[in-house]
Amino acid sequence: MSVEFLSADIPNQGKESLQMIRCIAPWKISCAVVGLVFAFGVAVSAQDGAQQVEVRLRRDEPLRAMDALQTVATKQQLIDLGFDLARCGHYPANGVFRLEIDSEEDVRLLNENGFDVVETEDPGLRGGLIETSYFDPGEILTMLNQTASDHPGITELITIGTTLEGRPIRGIVISNNPGVDEDEPAIQFNAQHHAREVATSHVVIDLINRLTDQYGIDSEITDWVNNYETVCIPMVNPDGVQYVFNSDNNWRKNRRPNSGCGSGSGVGVDLNRNYPYLWGPGCGSSSSCFSLVYRGPSSASELETQAMMNLQDEYRFTIATSYHSSGRFIDYPYACSDGSAAGRMPEHGIIHEMMVAMAGAISAVDGVTYTPFTPVPFGGVNGDDTSWYYAHEGVYPFIVEIGTSFAPSFSLVPGIVNRNRAGWEYLYDRLGQARIDVRVVDHLTGLPLEAKVEMLQQDAANILFDTGEFDRFSEPIHGRSRWVTEANHTYTMRISKSGYQTRTVDVPVVNSPVDVPVLLLANGVSLGDEKQDGDVDLADYSEFQKCFDVAPIQTECRIFDMNADEAVNFDDLGEWTAALTGP
Residues that bind Zn ion (CB under 5 A): 88, 194, 324
Q: How far is the CB of 25 from Zn ion (least distance, A)?
A: 19
If the CB atoms of residues 199 and 354 are measured against Zn ion, the closer one turns out to be 199
If the CB atoms of residues 169 and 547 are measured against Zn ion, the closer one turns out to be 169
The DSSP code sequence of 460-502 is TEE----SSPPPEE--TTT-EEEEE--SSEEEEEEEE-TTB--
Q: Show the CA angle centred on residue 562, arms to residues 560 and 568, nearest 5°.
A: 55
Q: How far is the CB of 554 from Zn ion (least distance, A)?
A: 54
Closest CB to Zn ion belongs to which residue? 324
**Is there a contact between 87 and 374 (Cβ–Cβ < 8 Å)?**
no
> In terms of Cα–Cα distance, which of 422, 427, 370, 429 is closest to 396?
427
* N- to C-terminal Cα separation, the chain: 83
If the CB atoms of residues 54 and 197 are measured against Zn ion, the closer one turns out to be 197
Q: How far is the CB of 279 from Zn ion (least distance, A)?
A: 17
> In terms of Cα–Cα distance, which of 426, 424, 455 is closest to 438?
455
**How many other C-beta atoms lie within 10 A of the C-beta of residue 297?**
14
**What is the distance between the alpha carbons of residues 310 and 39, in angstroms, rounded to a whole number?**
49
If the CB atoms of residues 266 and 327 are measured against Zn ion, the closer one turns out to be 327
> In terms of Cα–Cα distance, which of 281, 280, 322 is closest to 299?
280
If the CB atoms of residues 324 and 439 are measured against Zn ion, the closer one turns out to be 324
If the CB atoms of residues 52 and 474 are measured against Zn ion, the closer one turns out to be 52
Q: How far is the CB of 200 from Zn ion (least distance, A)?
A: 8
**How many other C-beta atoms lie within 10 A of the C-beta of residue 287?**
13
Q: How far is the CB of 193 from Zn ion (least distance, A)?
A: 6
Dihedral through CA 209, CA 215, CA 221, CA 224, nearest 10? 100
**Is there a contact between 88 and 324 (Cβ–Cβ < 8 Å)?**
yes
If the CB atoms of residues 140 and 520 are measured against Zn ion, the closer one turns out to be 140
Inter-axis angle of helices 137-150 and 238-246, nearest 10: 130
Q: How far is the CB of 365 from Zn ion (least distance, A)?
A: 22
Q: What beta strand segments (E) does 283-395 contain?
A: 319-324, 329-331, 371-373
If the CB atoms of residues 160 and 399 are measured against Zn ion, the closer one turns out to be 399
Q: How far is the CB of 88 from Zn ion (least distance, A)?
A: 4
**Is there a contact between 434 and 482 (Cβ–Cβ < 8 Å)?**
no
Q: Is the peptide bond between 370 and the residue preceding it cis, with omega within 30 degrees of 0?
A: no
Q: How far is the CB of 54 from Zn ion (least distance, A)?
A: 18
- Give the containing element (helix H, strand E) for 315: helix 303-315
Q: How far is the CB of 196 from Zn ion (least distance, A)?
A: 8
If the CB atoms of residues 406 and 428 are measured against Zn ion, the closer one turns out to be 406
Q: Is the peptide bond between 375 and the residue preceding it cis, with omega within 30 degrees of 0?
A: no
If the CB atoms of residues 88 and 431 are measured against Zn ion, the closer one turns out to be 88
**What is the distance between the alpha carbons of residues 75 and 60, in angstroms, rounded to a whole number?**
18
Q: How far is the CB of 324 from Zn ion (least distance, A)?
A: 3
